[in-house]
Amino acid sequence: MDDIVFDDVDPTSEDSSVDLRNLKDPGVLKVYKTGEFTVVGFQGQNVPTDACIAFYRDELLKLIDECHCKVLGFDLTGVVLIPSGMLGLMTTLRKKVDRVELYNPSPDIREVLFLSRLEQLFEIKDASFK
């Protein structure tokens, strides 16, 4: 994991031209790694409300396209709840990449994924990216 991207990386560098600093809820969605295997996370904060989901969708689709992403990972470390709109977005993004991986989901999130049968669409893993 030599090419992990942190906040101090220039968003116009070769790794990604997607500037996530312009998101409506700045500082929540963070790009940890770009390329065919791309990882984004929420820095341990609750996922933004459904009102921001459309904007995140556009930015994530742009990120997938520009990075030629085949595997998209979501670091859910410290996240307690995921709004239904974000679950829908993750499902939609699953159609754009080969695989969506969810890292470190809380027991509550795992239960929602199980009850909704969404766990079948995602690979659920315990991992660290820091």
Residue ranges per structural domain of the chain: 27-125
E-state strands within 1-130: 30-33, 37-41, 71-75, 99-103, 123-125
CA–CA separation, 41 and 76 (whole Å):
6
CA–CA separation, 52 and 103 (whole Å):
22
- Say how far residue 129 (Cα) sits from the centre of its chain: 13
Position 58, amino acid: D
User: What fold is seen in the domain 27-125?
Assistant: Transcription Regulator spoIIAA (3.30.750)
Higher pLDDT, 111 or 19: 111
Structure confidence by residue, pLDDT tens digits, 67-126:
999 999 999 999 988 888 899 999 999 999 999 999 999 999 999 999 999 999 999 998
pLDDT score recorded for residue 111:
95
The verdict on pTM exceeding 0.85 is: no
- Residue 2 clears pLDDT 80, i.e. is over it: no
